[in-house]
Structure 1
Amino acid sequence: MASQSIQSLELKEQDASVREYIGKTLVTLVHGLTLPPPEAHLSLSVKRRANSTSCIISPITGALEAGPRAETTRTYLWPAKTAYEEWKFTVILRILAILDQVTRTGQLISKRDIYYIDPGFFRAQYVVDGVIDDLAYTIGVDREALNVDTLIPRIENADEIEISRVRWVLVIEKEAVFHRLARTAYHIRATAGEGLLVTGKGYPDLSTRLFLRKLFDLASTRIVPLRFYALTDGDPHGIAIMSTYKYGSAAHLHENARLSIPRLQWLGLRVSDIIAVPEVLGDKALLSLTGRDRKKIISMLYNSPVWASDGPELQWRVELQRMLLLNAKAEIEILYECSGGLEGWIERRMFRQE
């Protein structure tokens, strides 16, 4: 009961800061509209999230965070010099008005719901997504504090998650691979003991990351450690997805510390795994990189502290460089054809990493 009371208190205080910010901002704008035209210059300022080149790995949390002086502020005016700036001003104002309503009434709303209130006005879903994230960053809260959610219960409010029999968690990039393992009940009959299979269907949303972090925090009190593994394609996107789980994303720097999984281990797939057993998987196991893949790898190597030459993941860096050098990548599905199939490969790799 005590922990639940503390949690409720924290949520109330957080909601109060949100309502205070929105209320003061809207009152200031309404007051500006009452002034005569020469004095009626309205402005809205939002903090802009840092890009990956301005990020660092926190020595305390191990998560991706904004570096010193990485934060910038963008101010939108009305009337403005350009039609775009006036439109962006009204977009922020419109979203603030929507958030004012849902926070006062205690309702939940999704980013998608906000966009479909007036898709012609907002133009694209990513416009709404960016404004919501910038407003949360400006206020210093997570998105859920704005009552913008996935319309499912927040995992941190769950009464209990029973994981006493769970020995490992496998985070899988692809939904099809997840279903293949689930259909064979691999999570129950694995040699390593019972486990959990989780997929974010590619790049994970906040709910998936929050669920995994909840498991990570619960496991920190156990005598027997809970091992976290990632199974991704051996390509730049697979490695970037794994990094999002372990270190966080540049889009949510202010939330990464509570969402990251510091002990996540890369199970595979690596290009080097395929090269090591060419007689088993054959010459067609490797695919050629696309131009987009090559650009992605170069951007990752030069723009993120995760893959820097002095960064925490030198093996990941070497694997990215190997992809560039060999012009090659690999997909998880090729493991269906190896000895023992996908399940056999996972068994062997888990045994090696214990």
Structure 2
Amino acid sequence: MTATVVHAPGLDDVPAAVEAALEEFLDGKARTGADDNLRQFTELLRGLLSAGGKRLRPVLCCCGWLAAGGGDLAPVVPAAASLELFHTFALIHDDIMDRSDTRRGHPTVHRTLAARVCGRLGLLDAESFGVNGAILLGDLAMVWSDELLHAGGLSSARLAAARPVLDAMRSEVMYGQYLDLLISTDLDSGLEASLTVARYKTAKYTVERPLQLGAALADGDERTLEACSAYGLPLGEAFQLRDDVLGVFGDPSVTGKPRLDDLRAGKHTALLAIALQQADRAQARVLRALVGDPRLDEYGAAAVRGVLRTTGALDTVERMIRERRQQAVDSLERSPFPQSVRAALYQLATAVTVRTS
């Protein structure tokens, strides 16, 4: 799935425009790098950005701009591209916390950095170097995201209007990440806890706030910002629920990530919470014995997937996805958005919930 499925004036061009903005920004950073090591650091970031990604947040930011009457998309493209840099920061750190080996079909940043020094350092020291370097590169991506936002030429008044939305987004994703870590220590934390994580880690960060950021940059009123929330929160939850399903049942050759990571890490998703609620004793023993086991293999994962199916957890989550998508779509009829933006967001609602990656 790519964001180019939307069909409002100018929106088809957003992914390419964002790519160009990111390339120009990173080219400038590479030219001013003090030495080869810093330039290689920048190229590592470029590699992750160019390896794929849906560019969903930039497209939604541009939708918000149009929804609030912003007109020509050119002024908002750097701000939209800055969201992609911030997302790259989040991915790098998320992969460290999840101990993931691959991202978008390639080695994660911390694995790449570790491999570069493994020949002259011991394995443990190389792994430590990789993690430390990836933390720094993630931090750099976050700093540069703010720099790109402010280098785009938008007026100080527009940037000031958008600051509360941006501040909220940054805080919410950190809070959601922490909650995700916290509930993964307790398999019995329940469905509501997993949905709270989905709301803060994904729904607000991925859909609601990018929409609101674009609207705020275009001087959108309170009614427009509220309509962004009415659409963004349920769709963002549906997006995360689809991610939960793909994390266990997806095809790694399509998703670009192993489908054992979430199970090995003991991710307390809605899928797992519902299965534990519905499981009989034998099924619960399977889940408690295998989920969270860092040595889990495909044989054990198949047993977990069997329980997720037979308890009805998978079907329940699929129904929750459909319900939230419909809630988001229904909200568009009550929104003050132009019809072209409604049409784009309607198609996007299907694209992000019926997907294989």
Question: What TM-score does the superposition give when structure 1 sets the normalisation length?
Answer: 0.27
Which structure: greater helix fraction?
Answer: 2
Q: Which has the higher contact order (CA 8 A, sep 6+)?
A: 2
Which structure: greater strand fraction?
Answer: 1
Structure of larger gyration radius: 1
